[in-house]
Amino acid sequence: MPLHRVTFAARSTFWAATLAFAGAAAAQDAPDGQETIVSHGISTFGDLKYPADFEHLDYVNPDAPKGGEMSLWWSGTFDSMNPYTRKGRAGYLSSIFFESMLTTVADEIGSSYCLLCKTIEYPEGREWVIFTLRDDVTFADGTPLTAEDVLFTYELFLEEGLPSYRAVLGQQVESAEVLDERRIRFDFREEGPKRDVIEGVGGLPIMSKAWFEANEAGLDESRLEPAVGSGPYMLDRYDINQRIVYRRNPDYWGADHPLNVGRNNFDTIRVEYFGDSNAAFEGFKAGAYTFRNENSSKTWATGYDFPAVQDGTVAKVELPDETIATGQSFAINLRRPQFQDPRVREALGLMFNFEWTNETLFYGLYDRIGSFWENSELAADGVPSEGELALLQPLVDEGLLDASILTEPAVVPPESDPDRQLDRGNLRRASRLLDEAGWEVGNDGMRRKDGQVLSVEILDDSPTFDRVINPYVQNLKALGVDASYSRIDPAQYTDRTRNFDFDMTTDQFPMAYEPGAGLKQYFGTDGLGDVFNSAGVSDPAIDRLIDVVMAAAEREEMVTAVKALDRVLRAKRFWVPQWYNDSYFVAYYDIYEHPDPLPPFSLGFLDLWWVDPEKEAALKAKGAL
């Protein structure tokens, strides 16, 4: 059964890492006399790890050979190479073409470094920032990347980006101005927190203004011709719904940049599409692709006994994963009227028996997710701390939160009997909750309120979830819920989830170590119409706490605010947490090498790994490739 939900969307990586404040930097006077900081990067709560003259990242192999291919699988279909629109279904990795002025690293929390820029300049109060671009950056078509392209991209996302992008940009940025060919200045609004504003604009994926104008293209459209970016890979070819091949740009401007030394090692990256994971696994066994990040515990436990594993052609390894859990869960759509009462949502959560699922279907390989920041110090635990109480008490006093949030331990998923699919104790608890909420059991065993049946449709597009969802549906029916499971094709799934046409579906809520504006996408009222806010969260208490997190100037203050937010999010019970694993389960044809140890915050198989020519030649000689 599945390790994790295989999903892909235009996740806003440039909003997910919310960083700020000065790192190792030099101070100088701006033309207006204001003292400013000039630096090669920026760090939230401390100094930058890497100095301005660093040669390469600590976790790479600077001598990694270039060449060969990394091939992997993806599920479903695609009909677009534009990942920044809700229209169509974007091809996997279709954001690979674009780079940003600032980028993060995989061995440091809270730091961001100049990639397309040479320096950033800003005052201590972060009222504005000037990015000075490198003079050697070119797009994939050979044209120079200038400040005009940065301004164009900013305006493009402001006008045509997803709703949450537009909302956050509009709230944070007052104006943007090109100072000259290599410099652009952003002025930020006086009101509101500024901890992540520099990274917000610095993280935009920069696109070619000339390409958009020549092709009369827009951001909010589905198209198979990708926009031109400056990244290390270009589109080589594709076969609709079958494969996509990306090739390394031989003229990539940044090949020798210290941030890129030892990275981007493959000549090509090939994505093979399959209808489902079972077909994909058979394809792997047959050699259709060479790398598999296993998402099925059943397959991991029982499927890797084929000859290629036994004779060493395929390596099967577990690698440590120190990242925050993905927040994978059944998301309950709060836009539906039957889910407005939190007692209903709590009752639905009681009927998912994780312990039985884990022991019976997952071979005991997983742990339960309990927090939106699971596997990190940011997870709320026990009763609120003094600092959390200071944030929560005013919300209780204003009637925005129930007073129990002040004295009760943080909500955790219910424990269930691992030996029985239906836990009778949790069934009784759930029945009482629905009775209290006015959903009474009729003569036909179905629960109704005001003449309406309590119905719940669980939506998914993956066959690997059948064995998980079907028992859950049976448990819900035992509660008197008119529960059903609809497994539909990927195109329908994309359309329905993007239009919020579902009761419950599996989704992920990936959180950052230093969260900021990205929280508005997943949980804020501003993101209510966004694909990331699948649960339809719109709550004044949550909005207020998000603002506190974004405004935190010290790390301790931020940690306290995140824990308070986590506590409130969990109390709202708009999710039914699923599972996570603190290891990567990977299998690959034994031609690859990787840094040892890997960085703490990335597996990096597309980025840091490389092909060993001798191993590749040996497998080709024996006909395994």
pLDDT above 80: residue 91: yes
Instruction: For residue 586, report the phi and psi dihedrals to the nearest 5 degrees.
Output: -125, 145
Q: Do the Cβ atoms of 153 and 207 come closer than 8 Å?
A: yes
**Which band of pLDDT confidence, cut at 50, 70 and 90, is reported for residue 529?**
confident
**Which band of pLDDT confidence, cut at 50, 70 and 90, is reported for residue 3?**
very low
Nearest to 484 by CA among 464, 498, 505: 505
Buried b vs exposed e over 534-569: b needs ≥16 C-beta within 10 Å? bbbbbbebbbbbbebbbebeeeebbbbbbbbbbbbb
114 and 32, same domain (yes or no)? yes
The share of the chain scoring above pLDDT 70, in percent, equals: 95
pLDDT above 50: residue 19: no
189 and 133, same domain (yes or no)? yes
Is the bond preceding 597 in cis, omega lying within 30 degrees of 0? Answer: yes
* Average confidence (pLDDT) over 160-180: 87
Q: How far apart are CA 220 and CA 223, in angstroms?
A: 10
Q: Do the Cβ atoms of 474 and 421 come closer than 8 Å?
A: yes
Specify the pLDDT at position 490.
86
- Return all residues near 118 (Cβ < 8 A) that are at least 6 apart: 40, 132, 133, 134, 135, 182
pLDDT above 90: residue 7: no
Specify the pLDDT at position 240.
95
**Which band of pLDDT confidence, cut at 50, 70 and 90, is reported for residue 162?**
confident
Q: Do the Cβ atoms of 512 and 17 come closer than 8 Å?
A: yes
* Average confidence (pLDDT) over 128-148: 98
552 and 462, same domain (yes or no)? yes
pLDDT digits (tens, 9 = 90+) for 534-591: 999 999 999 999 999 999 989 999 999 999 999 999 999 999 999 999 999 999 999 9
Specify the pLDDT at position 320.
92
422 and 536, same domain (yes or no)? yes
User: Which residue shows structure tokens 């084929």?
Assistant: 306
* Average confidence (pLDDT) over 70-97: 94
**Which band of pLDDT confidence, cut at 50, 70 and 90, is reported for residue 16?**
very low
Indicate whether 153 belongs to any domain. Answer: yes
Indicate whether 85 belongs to any domain. Answer: no
Q: How far apart are CA 560 and CA 397, in angstroms?
A: 20
| Local structure of 201: helix, strand or coil | helix
Looking at 215, 245, 266, which one is the last position of a domain?
Answer: 215
182 and 257, same domain (yes or no)? no
User: Which residue shows structure tokens 């990586």?
Assistant: 13
pLDDT above 90: residue 23: no
User: Which residue shows structure tokens 């599996």?
Assistant: 506
387 and 493, same domain (yes or no)? yes
pLDDT digits (tens, 9 = 90+) for 270-323: 999 998 889 999 999 999 999 999 988 999 999 999 999 999 999 999 999 989
Per-residue DSSP letters for 516-563? -THHHHHHSGGGTTSTT-TT----HHHHHHHHHHHH--SHHHHHHHHH
CATH number of the CATH domain containing 410: 3.10.105.10
DSSP state of 403: G
443 φ/ψ sector (left φ>0, alpha ψ -120 to 50, else beta): alpha
Nearest to 8 by CA among 116, 83, 87, 108: 83
- Return all residues near 592 (Cβ < 8 A) that are at least 6 apart: 70, 290, 291, 605, 609, 610, 611, 612, 615
Return the HEC string of 207-229.
CCHHHHHHHCCCCCCCCCCCCCC
Q: Do the Cβ atoms of 563 and 371 come closer than 8 Å?
A: no
Structure-block tokens of residue 59: 């976790």
Average pLDDT over the chain, rounded to an integer: 92
Output the pTM of the full model.
0.85
41 and 127, same domain (yes or no)? yes
CA separation, residue 447 to residues 54, 432, 441 (Å): 65, 12, 4
Count of all residues that appear for the chain in the document: 625
Nearest to 376 by CA among 438, 322, 335: 322
Nearest to 77 by CA among 355, 492, 391, 420: 492
Specify the pLDDT at position 12.
34
pLDDT above 50: residue 143: yes
Indicate whether 35 belongs to any domain. Answer: yes
Indicate whether 221 belongs to any domain. Answer: no
The residue type of 234 is: M
pLDDT digits (tens, 9 = 90+) for 332-385: 999 999 999 999 999 999 999 999 999 999 999 999 999 999 999 999 999 999
CATH number of the CATH domain containing 297: 3.40.190.10
Indicate whether 89 belongs to any domain. Answer: no
262 and 164, same domain (yes or no)? no
Structure-block tokens of residue 196: 């992540």
333 and 316, same domain (yes or no)? no
Indicate whether 84 belongs to any domain. Answer: no
271 and 370, same domain (yes or no)? no
Specify the pLDDT at position 28.
53
User: Which residue shows structure tokens 């006086």?
Assistant: 190
Nearest to 234 by CA among 253, 216, 219: 253
Per-residue DSSP letters for 345-395? HHHHHHT--HHHHHHHHSTT--EE--STTTTSTTS--SSPPHHHHHHHHHH
Structural domain of residue 387, as residue ranges?
329-580
Q: Do the Cβ atoms of 380 and 456 come closer than 8 Å?
A: no
Specify the pLDDT at position 6.
38
591 and 540, same domain (yes or no)? no
pLDDT digits (tens, 9 = 90+) for 423-481: 999 999 999 999 999 999 999 999 999 999 999 999 999 888 999 999 999 999 999 99
pLDDT above 70: residue 20: no
Indicate whether 420 belongs to any domain. Answer: yes
Indicate whether 55 belongs to any domain. Answer: yes
DSSP state of 58: T
Q: How far apart are CA 451 and CA 448, in angstroms?
A: 6
425 and 464, same domain (yes or no)? yes
CA separation, residue 139 to residues 31, 181, 230, 231, 251 (Å): 32, 15, 4, 8, 10
pLDDT digits (tens, 9 = 90+) for 383-412: 999 999 999 999 999 999 999 999 999 999
Structure-block tokens of residue 247: 């090739």
Q: How far apart are CA 228 and CA 208, in angstroms?
A: 6
Number of domains in the chain: 3
* Average confidence (pLDDT) over 101-130: 96
278 φ/ψ sector (left φ>0, alpha ψ -120 to 50, else beta): alpha
**Which band of pLDDT confidence, cut at 50, 70 and 90, is reported for residue 31?**
low
386-397 vs 540-551: helix axis angle to the nearest 10?
Answer: 140
pLDDT digits (tens, 9 = 90+) for 222-256: 999 999 999 999 999 999 999 999 999 999 999 99
